[in-house]
A = this chain, B = another copy of it.
Amino acid sequence: MGCPALLLLLLPLLAPEATSAVRPAPTVLGNRLHLPTSPTSRPAAAQNYSVLYFHQKVDHFGFNTVKTFKQRYLISDKYWKEHGGSILFYTGNEGDIIWFCNNTGFMWDVAEELKAMLVFAEHRYYGESLPFGEDSFKDSQNLNFLTSEQALADFAELIKHLKKTIPGAENQPVIAIGGSYGGMLAAWFRMKYPHLVVGALAASAPIWQFEDLVPCGLFMKIVTEDFRKSNSNCSESIRRSWAAIDRLASTSSGLRGLSQMLRLCSPLTSEDIERLKDWITETWVNLAMVDYPYESNFLQPLPAWPIKVVCQFLNNPDVSDSLMLENIFQALNVYYNYSGQVKCLNMSEIATSSLGSQGWSYQACTEMVMPFCSNGVDDMFEPQQWNLKKFSDDCFSQWHVRPRPSWITTMYGGKNISSHTNIVFSNGDLDPWSGGGVTKDISDTLVAVIIPQGAHHLDLRANNAYDPKALLLARSLEVKYMKQWIRDFYKPSRRRH
């Protein structure tokens, strides 16, 4: 999800309307200008691609409209070999494809070994691939073609187009690769179009974060665990911070103090308190997702092991409310102001603007209905039940659509997927999304790769000197499977699959 917590979690915790209110304002921080991105997170090679466009049908599943739109995709053939080569196909998720390309160094790192052409396909309704241009999010009529099925069909048509038009590509194996929602798409693409891809690497893909396939509280429990592991006082501080906020917010002087302690750009009113708590919650969730072992800039520029850094400020839960909030500020400041350039904290700011919050809000309100909850006991958050009725009503008032919470399971099989083959599901054990992921082998060819100390699709990031050994092992296992699929494809007696 790139930053799915932002996009997904706002929905269960806030009303869907709130989501579109949360428009990242990256110019406020402009960190990317000031802080050099870790060079390994954007490998030099990743610059070396062509930007191309393919005319896609707006509706693959109906014939009433003949409208098309331009899907953007990136392609690099630097290491590609016409003979014995392969095609690694990134199944783009909810954001700008160039941003995903720059954050998927793994593909660049393995391209030579796999003699691979790299293709990064942008997901419709994100980045530049807007079926109705700037009107794409105008109403539910224009949004009607934003579904995972349409996105998979785009990928299928694009692969057929590439195979038809690039000499030598026709008889090559294609492997789908994606992370987060893109990982779900990679897995689903292999399930639904096994004739087009020989296998899929689904990194941090919570394909079971639907209905009651996993407990709704698991996600927040893992977030909590990440903070607790750093320092049990840290999670306890956060657990107690909510009541401290409430107490301070109960008087007007306390409210003023709260705004000052947190260096907020706009002073709080008592109506803002729920939004404040949601914003802080999102921040902890995002930190859990990007708790990488080295300095990075995925959702925000951050130091190595950012939770450790954050928790240095939260090592004593037994403090006054004021001190607690001062500490919370210091912690938030790690996330929002690693550059040191920021003058005040902005509650509308959570993560990179490369993600498409409007599109994802709509998807979460239609197909991608992921139940989340917290109980304050197994996790450090305020208790919050999953309320489908309220969620649905909020979706209706925001988008004039209602979610179909069972559809993804009906379409993609839920836990009953053992008849499929050649999918690697990788998950980092720090990643809250691993709770909805496949973390045990389902069969010999549907395998789980666990990355100890790994956050959200760490394996898809570029090689880095600080990569833990377990990560290197996981990546080599992934490459081993990919090579196996490629070998099987080229076997003289092969039955393609």
Judge whether B419 and A497 touch: CB under 8 Å: yes
Are B413 and A141 interface neighbours, CB within 8 A? no
Query: Is there a chain B Cβ closer than 8 Å to A495's Cβ?
Result: yes
Using an 8 Å CB-CB cutoff, how does the interface string of A128-151 with B read, 1 for contact, 0 for none?
Answer: 000000000000110111010110
- A144 and B63 in contact (CB under 8 A), knowing A406-B160, A410-B160, A443-B495? yes
A125 to B: closest C-beta gap in Å: 13
Answer yes or no: A492 CB below 8 A from chain B CBs: no
Specify which of B63, B153, B413, B496 is in contact with A402 (CB 8 Å cutoff).
Answer: B63
Among the listed B61, B195, B406, which residue makes an inter-chain contact with A150, where contact means beta carbons less than 8 Å apart? B61
The digit string for A409-422, where 1 denotes a CB below 8 A from any CB of B, is: 01101101111111
Residue A156 is within 8 A (CB to CB) of chain B in the complex: yes
- The answer to whether A63 touches B149, judged by C-beta atoms less than 8 angstroms apart, is no
- Using A402-B63, A404-B63 as known contacts, say yes or no to A420 and B194 having CB atoms under 8 A apart: yes
Bound form: Cα–Cα A61–B156 in Å: 17
Is A253 in the interface zone, CB < 8 Å from B? no
Residue contact B418 to A141, C-beta cutoff 8 Å: no
The complex is assembled from copies of this chain, and their number is 2
CB distance from A74 to the nearest CB of B (A): 22
Which residue from B149, B192, B402 sits with its C-beta under 8 Å from A66? B402
Is there contact, CB below 8 Å, between A63 and B195?
no
* Cα(A224)–Cα(B272), bound, Å: 80
Q: Which residue of B is nearest A442, CB measured?
A: B495
Shortest CB-to-CB span from A388 to chain B, Å, is 16
Across the interface, A413 reaches (CB within 8 A) one of B63, B195, B416, B421, namely: B195
Smallest Cβ-Cβ distance to A192: which chain B residue: B192
Whether A366 is near chain B, meaning CB under 8 Å from some CB there, is: yes
List residues 272-313 of chain A with CB under 8 A from any CB of chain B. none
Q: Which of A64, A419, A421 has the most CB of B within 10 A?
A: A419
Whole-angstrom distance between the Cβ of A240 and the nearest chain B Cβ: 41
- CB <8 Å contact, B63 and A366: yes
| CA A144 to CA B160, docked complex, whole Å | 25
In the bound assembly, the distance between CA atoms of A410 and B152 in angstroms comes to 11
- 7 of the cross-chain contacts (CB-CB < 8 Å) are A63-B147, A63-B366, A64-B140, A194-B420, A196-B413, A418-B495, A418-B496
Taking A62-B147, A63-B144 as known contacts, 11 extra A-B pairs with beta carbons closer than 8 A to each other, sorted by chain A number, are A60-B407, A61-B62, A64-B141, A64-B143, A157-B410, A160-B406, A160-B410, A196-B413, A416-B496, A418-B495, A418-B497
